[in-house]
Amino acid sequence: MARVWLVTGASRGLGRAITRTALDAGETVVATGRSADAVRDGLEGYHDRLHALALDITDAEAARAVASETVKRFGSIDVLVNNAGYAELGFFETFTDAAIRRQFEVNVFGTMNVARAVAPHMRRRRSGLIVTISSVSGLVSNSGGSVYSASKFAVEGWMEGFAEELAPFGVRSLLVEPGMLRTDFMDRKSASFGGIDIPDYAEAVAQYRSFVEGANGNQPNDPKLLAARIVALASQVETPARLLFGNDATQWAGAKIDKLREEIAQSADLG
């Protein structure tokens, strides 16, 4: 029996790949983006089971309306993929307060808006899966990624606790932590750089911008493979709490774990 998926940020990148993969598996997908037309344009040929809706996830009322419309039309939301987001890439002091707040408004509070709209339905049914697209940057932070990582660290902490709150009601959670995916995530449609010029950081910022521009389109990990992994896991009775994807992600996370162990041991030595 086909399930009903609700996917945010479905107009391109990983969201589009997940939507297409779920549709290919015979599922029904309510795919959202800031422009419903952009969602449809990227997913031609699926119109019998694809239902595109406009959604700005920072609008809590709009998120509730989409969830309500989905349940009313299809009877359920079996899988929520909280995918929409973007990256503020650059050095912390080069960002305005408004830019940092916008990062959290979308990546954290927007993601919460959608989960808050869908979770009551899943609790009532005592069934459902919430897939939250985080990042290995939600586990590891580096220079140039402090603001983006801060938003993803927040998502990780929130969803880790929220998952425990939902588990007694049969609602499962999957936190997805990809490494660098070969999408347009690092182009100017998804990534934004700080606009404050600080001479002390000028050389480092230039090097970082060069790295990002060179990496865009050349990232090592295939989003189609990740989409297939997510759709396959959604069919399983037992779902892991986390999915690290990509050799880069596992290496960075492993190095972080080793570092934490060292720091814990050093703290213990201090008595």
Catalytic residue among 46, 148, 201, 208: 148
CA dist list (Å): 11 to 23, 33, 38, 251:
14, 6, 6, 30
256: annotated active-site residue: no
Q: Is the dihedral of CA 153, 158, 162, 164 positive or negative?
A: positive
Residue whose tokens read 């399930």: 3
Q: Which of 146, 152, 173, 208 is catalytic?
A: 152
Q: Are 228 and 22 in contact (CB under 8 A)?
A: no
Residue pair 94/196 in contact by the 8 Å Cβ criterion: yes
219: Cβ–Cβ under 8 A, 6 or more apart, which residues? 179, 180, 181, 182, 183, 186
What is residue 82's DSSP assignment?
E
Query: Which residue in this structure is represented by tokens 């490494």?
Result: 179
Q: What is the DSSP letter of 91?
A: -
Contact 178, 245 (CB under 8 A): yes
208 is catalytic: no
Tell me if residue 151 is catalytic: no
Q: Tell me phi and psi for residue 220, to 5 degrees.
A: -80, -15
Q: In what order do the strands lie in the sheet with 50-54?
A: 50-54, 28-33, 4-7, 79-82, 128-133, 171-178, 242-245
Which among 134, 135, 137, 146 is annotated as catalytic?
Answer: 134
What residues are labeled active site?
Answer: 134, 148, 152
